[in-house]
Structure 1
């Protein structure tokens, strides 16, 4: 007959051997990330973007259907182009997502009594509401901002959008606002936004993360995803299916071009860039 004391001691020894060095309580409340992200080389990004040359949002949407992702990636149509150019189509872009998330601030919305206002504004920008994603931009990138929809804040303006362009960004998408929209249109930087804003960031929002998963217009956007935007709106293609989506989308585009070329000829219309 087994001595119960031996069984208890053996069980206790086994538990001690399999118990981690820390208890669950030690990790309670600690930040956890559950969705992995990865980075891609410039060569990898260039190769993917080559596949998307000429593709329209509608073509890409059909490609998403083809890979079993119907209605996935279609950004809320309320996020629309700030400006369009139907002669040059300069408002159209295809690029690789660099993501950033701004959240409402809980900090004081103004300087302390006696504090210089301009000094407060500069400190807020530098300490809390900066643009660290700018260091991660590259040729062919797209700035995708998950921002504070309810705040009248112009996180995007005529100067910083030009800065992002100088660093390689081909376009900007935000689920919130931009200011200086007249100048941005004149500068011809592709911008897709929910609405116009006027305020500045200090006292209204602050940066939470960069190159992490965000949600823009109801769509999950991962850093490295392909973003296509035109007059129909914005679509986001998960990187893992980007090649298959592009291949099918080109089939749709070429069939559409062929059909419209025939109609152009029948109607005596001159060919334009959309059918060439």
Structure 2
């Protein structure tokens, strides 16, 4: 592994990223062909947090947050810091002091495939974090990693500048070159779902709306007016 910091990266279009954020993780994931969704163990440390920004990536080592400090300098307004680890880890590698530094630079949130602590303070700050675990276990600053290189975070390859969308449903990553296309597909999907939502609210059944009755019958589903006698 090269221990480097890449200072200049190409970021996804900010307006398109904002459109993705308005759609939410579930709709973006579907619009992206069900790609880019991080493993479900990545959970928000407090409910209701949302972030939609461009990735600044960190490759760190277990129990060592040195490179997160290095990465802060490379962040700018509208970014989301994404931290992958070189091996499985759940130590509390991020807390309120680092969050204070990131927030001062306009960073919208953190996604970390490790642990986080200082949850109460982070919630009060309004700084959202998605992490593998919550752990008070502290870290060291001893091993070099890298900043703004491709990393794997919770099973997803994340490249610097990719769009990162995170909410209560999890975290999804869209390659920076695909954001406009996915935003358009997601908005169309959202409009279609709004029409379906109105039909369902009026009492229509999904069975009829999605024309499920015939394929259910072909699959062998039988309706009985009363239980069969034993």
Shorter chain as normaliser: what TM range? Answer: 0.7 to 0.9
Q: TM-score, normalised by structure 2?
A: 0.76
Bigger drift between 173-182 and 53-62 goes to 53-62
**Which residue number in structure 1 is paired with residue 42 of structure 2?**
79
User: Residues of 2 paired with 1:195 and 1:228: CA distance?
Assistant: 19
Report if aligned partners of 1:98, 1:136 keep a CA contact under 8 Å in 2: yes
Q: Does residue 1:103 correspond to 2:41, yes or no? A: no
Question: How big is each residue's C-alpha offset from its partner over 1:40-76, in whole Å with a ceiling of 9 and x where there is no partner?
Answer: 26xx6423324324111111112111xxxx4x31100
Report if aligned partners of 2:51, 2:109 keep a CA contact under 8 Å in 1: yes
Q: Does residue 1:39 correspond to 2:2, yes or no? A: no
Bigger drift between 214-223 and 180-189 goes to 180-189
User: Residues of 2 paired with 1:46 and 1:195: CA distance?
Assistant: 30
* Poorly superposed stretches of 4+, deviation over 4 Å: 30-33, 148-152, 261-264
Give the superposition deviation at 1:250. 0.8
Report if aligned partners of 2:151, 2:159 keep a CA contact under 8 Å in 1: yes
C-alpha distance 259-175 of structure 1, shift in aligned 2 (>3 A): same
Q: Secondary structure at the match of 1:193?
A: strand
Give the superposition deviation at 1:164. 0.5
Give matches, 1:81-230, under 5 Å.
Answer: 81-85=44-48, 91-104=49-62, 131-147=69-85, 150-151=88-89, 153-202=91-140, 206-230=143-167
C-alpha distance 194-252 of structure 1, shift in aligned 2 (>3 A): same
Gaps of 5+ in 1: 1-29, 86-90, 106-123, 268-276
Question: Between Structure 1 and Structure 2, how many residues are aligned?
Answer: 202
Which protein shows a greater Rg?
1
Kindly report the root-mean-square deviation, in angstroms, between the aligned alpha carbons of the 2 structures.
2.9
Q: TM-score, normalised by structure 1?
A: 0.65
Report if aligned partners of 1:93, 1:171 keep a CA contact under 8 Å in 2: yes
User: Residues of 1 paired with 2:56 and 2:14: CA distance?
Assistant: 15
C-alpha distance 232-135 of structure 1, shift in aligned 2 (>3 A): same
Q: Secondary structure at the match of 2:83?
A: strand
C-alpha distance 184-149 of structure 1, shift in aligned 2 (>3 A): farther
Question: How big is each residue's C-alpha offset from its partner over 1:54-112, in whole Å with a ceiling of 9 and x where there is no partner?
Answer: 111111112111xxxx4x31100001111113xxxxx111110000011148xxxxxxx
**Which residue number in structure 2 is paired with residue 273 of structure 1?**
none
User: Residues of 1 paired with 2:87 and 2:117: CA distance?
Assistant: 14
Gaps of 5+ in 2: 204-230
